């Protein structure tokens, strides 16, 4: 098993475990202007990921992510399944055949995930979705790598950026998803998906050294 595969497994497992821990919290955030099922849907999908963990194809990091994507797409309900599944699939496709992943490869995979979410969700930055935290977080990660930061330092900066951007979605009016139906009432509370991105990146930044 390569160090890059180890790292990829660590990232996916951390995301899965954190989704389960925050099931109620994410659901409460989503219930403010959404249908409240975000936390439940995410947790059920990643619960299946963890239950079948040992059986996932580990030919290389890209194949591993692509197989995880299939599980996510088929088990996470609502709009989250296609969005998160597409993100994992696009990232996996970008990394397919690579046994060692460089910082540049990581950014390429994350950018591919972002484009997949934009395409699948017909959304972009400013629509009050997870993209409003994900995009600036990846921008920050890329800048940190370019400055020569190691992974833990870069993740720390990424986490700060994700949290600030996620909190700033409180100022936005939702333009996608069920929350968009509430119009101006969606202003004043942060987007659940954006907060989820912040929470997940914070988990990675906190535990990377382990």
* C-alpha to C-alpha distance for 187 and 158, rounded to whole angstroms: 25
175 pLDDT more than 80: no
Q: What is the model's pTM?
A: 0.92
Among residues of the chain, what percentage have pLDDT more than 70?
A: 91
Question: Does the pLDDT of residue 182 top 70, yes or no?
Answer: no
Does residue 177 register a pLDDT over 80?
A: no
| CB atoms closer than 10 angstroms to residue 124 | 15
CATH of domain 3-207: 1.25.40.340
Kindly give, in sequence order, each residue whose CB lies less than 8 Å from that of residue 1, ignoring residues fewer than 6 positions away: 58
Name every residue whose Cβ is closer than 8 Å to that of residue 121 and which is 6 or more positions away in sequence: 79, 83, 129, 131, 176
């Amino acid at each position: 098993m390569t160090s890059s595969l180890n790292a990829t497994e660590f990232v996916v497992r951390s995301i899965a475990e954190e989704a389960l821990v925050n099931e109620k919290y994410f659901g409460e955030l989503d219930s403010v202007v959404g249908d409240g099922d975000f936390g439940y849907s995410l947790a059920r999908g990643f619960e299946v990921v963890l239950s079948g963990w040992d059986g996932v194809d580990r030919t290389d990091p890209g194949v591993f992510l692509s197989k995880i994507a299939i599980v996510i797409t088929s088990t996470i309900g609502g709009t989250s399944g296609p969005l998160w599944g597409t993100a994992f699939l696009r990232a996996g496709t970008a990394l397919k055949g690579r046994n060692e992943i460089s910082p540049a490869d990581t950014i390429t995979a994350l950018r591919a995930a972002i484009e997949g979410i934009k395409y699948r969700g017909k959304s972009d930055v400013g629509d009050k979705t997870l993209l409003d935290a994900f995009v600036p977080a990846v921008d920050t990660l890329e800048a940190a790598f370019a400055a020569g930061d190691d992974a833990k330092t870069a993740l720390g900066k990424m986490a700060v950026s994700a949290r600030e951007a996620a909190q700033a979605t409180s100022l936005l009016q939702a333009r996608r998803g069920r929350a968009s139906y509430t119009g101006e009432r969606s202003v004043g509370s942060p987007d659940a998906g954006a907060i989820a991105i912040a929470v997940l990146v914070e988990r990675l930044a906190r535990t990377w050294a382990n």
